Structure 1
Amino acid sequence: MNKSLRFGAVVSLLLIVTLLVNYSIVQGMREDEYAQDPHNSRILMELKRTNRGDIVAGDTVLAQSHRDEADGFYQRTYPNMPWSFAPVVGYASDQFGTSQLESTHNGDLTGDSGTSSRFLRTGTEDGKKGDTVALTLDPNLQAFAFDQLAKPGYEGAVVAVRPSSGEVLAMASAPSYDPNGIANPNTAEGAWADVNGNPAKPLLNHATQEQLPPGSIFKIITTAAGLRNGFTPESPLTGEAQTILPGTDNIPLTNYGGQPCAGGGQVPLRTAFALSCNTAFVQMGLAAGPEALRDAAARFGIGQSYDLGLPNAAGSLGDLPGGAELAQSAIGQRDVTMTALQAAVMAATIANKGKRMEPHVVRAVRDADGKVVRETEPVELGEAVTEEEAATITDLMYGSERWTFGYDGNGFASKTGTAEHAEGAAPHVWYVAFDPAKDVAVAVVVKNGGHLGEAATGGQVSGPIGRAVLRAAPAPVEGAQ
């Protein structure tokens, strides 16, 4: 064999080996990645002829498929409370693919979650109903929470969780949309244009995907850092109306409204927490130091995303290169961001005696015969604070609730927040709380001040929503997760 033929044979052999290796990688290692990609054109075609499983919450069917006898294709519909559930359930469209749970659980819903390769399907599977995805969401509470945002026209989110298990009972996001419009081929293009033309981004799950400055609810984490570094509820802190940011040319940081706390002078941490004194928390944050704040934030999950089955943002503490940055971060400003889900988990962690549970929205996956294929078990992610520290913060949150709303026998423990986010813009307002009697924690964020605009506070706008959700939340059923 001459040199040219030998060279050509070697190159051909190498190309064949490369092709085989690549094919093996696609089939054996990345099949699911490609097969379940919502933009895969084969998936879009198969959506028409696949009898997708249901998505349910309790006995309420949220998503189901019906076969059109005329053409034999399946049509996805969302029969119950579509606006309330759309940011969680998502949509399945043969034109625009899938989103949210319809996307992340596509393999379960099509009955093709790994038992056989989609690339090797024969076509005989068509018509076989996929698995049912059962959610932890309580339909009544979900609808109630959504209405609390939607009726006054607020943009924001509400999340309610069980502290002891991590079950998400409600995850409302506003604005929302009707997924039926996107799923129906006759209305899909118009519906798609409408939702994508809305600057408030209704396709986004604002509870899990939107990171916002938390403002004073972050003082729960600053308090955790302080307690671990020698502070107690009686530790004296400044109540003065303003403090100068360290390392700056006389730049002040003020309390809300520029007012002193409890007349100024020194106040105990207990009072500073109830009155949400910025200057006091700046003093405590600087004394505890940047590493203490970083450690506390990490223990509460800031900077971490969850294996939720839904896209979710990680939030951030931001960089703390100096005293000014540390001071602003200690009150939940500067570069600190959280999602409503993370805020709910923060409150739930305190309620659960310091143990942070992994949140989850899927209770179980069942096959067409009702047999459980997979069930979500509670997962403890770690200890954010000790039981003693959690009890101390709970007591401080009781004080905050009483100061803000008065004592009405509800037994809630809470913290409000009013977060600046842009020059001249109305603040985002927060409320986090829990009811230990019901084993429920809640987080509410209303963007841009809701109906009060620049004058809004967390206590005025988000607090009434959160307290109403806690009252409406079901108590846990004994023996159930």
Structure 2
Amino acid sequence: MNSPIRRLSFVVAFLFASLLVSTTMIQFVYAKDLNARPDNRRTLLSSYARERGQILVGDTAIAKSVPADNEYKWLRTYPGGSQYAHITGYYSFYGAGSGLEQAENSLLSGRSDKLAFRRVSDFFTGRRTTGASLELTIDSKVQQAAITALDGRKGAAVAVNPSTGEILAMVSNPGFNPATLSGHDLGKVDTAYKALNADKDKPLVNRAIGGDQYPPGSVFKIVTAAAALSSGRFSPETVLPGPAVLDLPQTTVGLPNIGRRACGDDDKTTFLHAMEISCNAAFGHLGMELGADALRDQAAKFGVGDQLSIPMRVTPSSVPAELNQPQLAQSAVGQYDVRVTPLQVAMFSAGVANAGVVMRPHLVKSVLSSDLSVIERAEPEQLSEAVTPEVAAQLTEMMEAVVENGSGQPAQIDGVRVAGKTGTAETDLVQRAHAWFTGFAPADDPQIAVAVVIENGGDPDSEARGGGAVGGPIAKAMIEAGLKK
């Protein structure tokens, strides 16, 4: 055999070997991943041929599949419309998009390894294989109260059970109707998706757990106060500086109080009163006294920086890694580059309410089979110990004072002791500040902790007219709904 033919035979042999190797890799090594791809049409048609599990709030299905007289076999429907849109997400022929539809797709579709025994049983008994259903921790009364009180304003609201971490409500505005993305008219689905995706208000983003996140403003003073009390150097009665504008080192720009008013006589105030009226100067002073490491460590103990899954991924909140003294003072009052989700802020209050222990937040109470028998049930799980019970009691006293006598009075409820904190978070010189409120109740027997943010809804000249007047009534409505049995 001459040399050119020999070389050609080697090339042909190599190509056949490569083909065999690649085919083997595709069929045996990558097969599972390829089948799981959300854009795999054959897999999608196969999954459409199987009834998808329900998503339940109590006994009510907020997402379910109904028979369809076409090649898709089943149509995913959302009886609650936009009320639970950011919780359910949506499921279309293009795959599972956002929310639980995406995060728990393997369970809802019936492909999860947790359902392997069930699939084998279905095969031998001849039962129609269906996906697992999810029973949620959501309290429909609290969810509806949040939606009604938000009244379409851009922002988010979250409620949790402090002792278990169960998420009782999660609302993000603006919302969307998942039904517009789950139809079988792919042209209409595509048009609806493009319109939602192009909307400058980003209705597909769940602001409660993700998106661009928010500066927390004064609700972050819960963290600063926790760090100060935990240091043992300060108590609620400690006298702190409270001038109209706190002088800061390394800069000619000071840290002003809202309205540029002093927080007390002779430019001094007690720690408790500083919390009541949300005195920036006092908390900026505390931040510089404590140091950046103490502030970051305390924030981390409340869950800041953690990679959480509820099971949807929660964007981690953050405190900047490097802080000079002016930046530290600003961070201590929730400004500069501190960024949080509303869920994280609810965890601040929930940690205080639960004697200092932060529970891992979760949205799924149990996984159910097609006959609604329990396959798996969530158990409460401790995430961290943010503060000692003694410090938590001091923080509770201070947060009660905010609602009883300070900037949070609009959250008062007759016959119920409410602990809370207002926040007015500045964004830039053009936009109005974000209005925040977070708190829990009853303060002496906590059952619900909440966080509310209204984008550009705050008054930069008044904490009471901002976080108190705007966020307080929303939080009050959610708490009242949660306490009604």
Alignment match, 1:472: 481
- How far off is 1:198 after superposition? 1.9
Structure 1 unaligned spans of 5+ = 477-481
Alignment match, 2:432: 426
Which of residues 299, 302, 317 is equivalent to 2:304?
Answer: 302
Which of residues 401, 408, 411 is equivalent to 2:417?
Answer: 411
- 1:398 and 1:224 mapped to 2: Cα distance? 15
- 2:250 and 2:295 mapped to 1: Cα distance? 19
- 1:164 and 1:462 mapped to 2: Cα distance? 24
Alignment match, 2:295: 293
Q: Assess if the C-alpha contact under 8 Å between 1:245 and 1:252 holds in 2.
A: yes
Q: Assess if the C-alpha contact under 8 Å between 2:149 and 2:473 holds in 1.
A: no
- How far off is 1:21 after superposition? 5.9
Higher mean Cα deviation, 283-292 or 302-311? 302-311
Q: Assess if the C-alpha contact under 8 Å between 2:424 and 2:460 holds in 1.
A: no
Alignment match, 2:196: 195
Which of residues 209, 232, 236 is equivalent to 2:239?
Answer: 236
Alignment match, 1:41: 41
Alignment match, 2:51: 51
Q: Give the AA of the match of 2:61.
A: V
Relative distance call for 1:47 and 1:182 in structure 2 (3 A) is farther
- 1:446 and 1:428 mapped to 2: Cα distance? 6
TM-score, normalised to structure 2's length?
0.88
Higher mean Cα deviation, 433-442 or 415-424? 433-442
Alignment match, 1:109: 108
What aligned pairs does 1:325-404 form with structure 2 within 5 A after superposition?
A: 325-402=327-404, 403-404=406-407
Relative distance call for 1:345 and 1:36 in structure 2 (3 A) is farther
What aligned pairs does 1:123-142 form with structure 2 within 5 A after superposition?
A: 128-142=129-143
- 2:178 and 2:15 mapped to 1: Cα distance? 52
- 1:74 and 1:399 mapped to 2: Cα distance? 55
Once the two structures are superposed, residues 332-388 of structure 1 have per-residue CA deviations (whole angstroms, 9 ceiling, x without a partner) of: 001101101111111101000011100000011111122212211111012110111
Q: Give the AA of the match of 1:134.
A: E
Relative distance call for 1:72 and 1:418 in structure 2 (3 A) is closer
- How far off is 1:70 after superposition? 5.2
SS in 1 for 2:314: coil
Q: Assess if the C-alpha contact under 8 Å between 1:100 and 1:311 holds in 2.
A: no
Q: Assess if the C-alpha contact under 8 Å between 1:108 and 1:131 holds in 2.
A: yes
Alignment match, 1:479: none
Root-mean-square deviation (Å): 2.8
- 1:300 and 1:236 mapped to 2: Cα distance? 26
Once the two structures are superposed, residues 275-314 of structure 1 have per-residue CA deviations (whole angstroms, 9 ceiling, x without a partner) of: 1110101111111111100110110111113121113110
Q: Assess if the C-alpha contact under 8 Å between 1:274 and 1:400 holds in 2.
A: yes
- 1:116 and 1:223 mapped to 2: Cα distance? 47
Q: Assess if the C-alpha contact under 8 Å between 1:77 and 1:183 holds in 2.
A: yes
SS in 2 for 1:191: helix
Q: Give the AA of the match of 1:357.
A: M
- How far off is 1:331 after superposition? 0.5
Q: Assess if the C-alpha contact under 8 Å between 2:218 and 2:334 holds in 1.
A: yes
Once the two structures are superposed, residues 204-246 of structure 1 have per-residue CA deviations (whole angstroms, 9 ceiling, x without a partner) of: 1111113100000000101111112211111111110011222
Relative distance call for 1:127 and 1:474 in structure 2 (3 A) is farther
Alignment match, 1:146: 147
SS in 2 for 1:447: strand
Which of residues 199, 216, 219 is equivalent to 1:217?
Answer: 219
Alignment match, 1:267: 269
Q: Assess if the C-alpha contact under 8 Å between 1:431 and 1:445 holds in 2.
A: yes
Alignment match, 1:460: 469
- 1:34 and 1:274 mapped to 2: Cα distance? 57
Identity %: 37
Structure 2 unaligned spans of 5+ = none
SS in 1 for 2:179: helix
Which of residues 219, 229, 233 is equivalent to 1:227?
Answer: 229
- What is the number of equivalent residue pairs in this alignment? 464
- How far off is 1:263 after superposition? 3.6
SS in 2 for 1:400: helix
Relative distance call for 1:108 and 1:359 in structure 2 (3 A) is same
SS in 2 for 1:267: strand
Relative distance call for 1:37 and 1:217 in structure 2 (3 A) is farther
- 1:194 and 1:377 mapped to 2: Cα distance? 40
